[in-house]
Amino acid sequence: MTFRRASTVAGITREQVTEFTKIIESAQKPVLIHCGSGNRASAMWASYRITQGVEPEAAIKEARKMGLRPPLEEKLREIMLN
């Protein structure tokens, strides 16, 4: 198992999405993604899924089930859908 840290603080930026995507694509599978509450991890997962061509609403719906909450969902929509 290899540990990689993707820097995500309170929000989410396009740069963080790019970094996270590179980490996921180069990682051995399966991959475990975590954070303290599931909010940031699910937002990053949804952003990755969107970059892979998953419909944004489907990716966000998945992320909600994983712990995505409204304030970060709004930020995710802002950077991924604009």
Instruction: Provide the residue ranges of all domains of the chain, joining segments of one domain with +.
Output: 14-80
Residues 51-63 have pLDDT tens digits of: 999 999 999 999 9
Residues 2-58 have pLDDT tens digits of: 777 777 666 789 999 999 999 999 998 899 998 888 999 999 999 999 999 999 999
pTM: 0.88
Q: What share of the chain is helix, strand, coil (3-state, %, to 5)?
A: 60, 0, 40
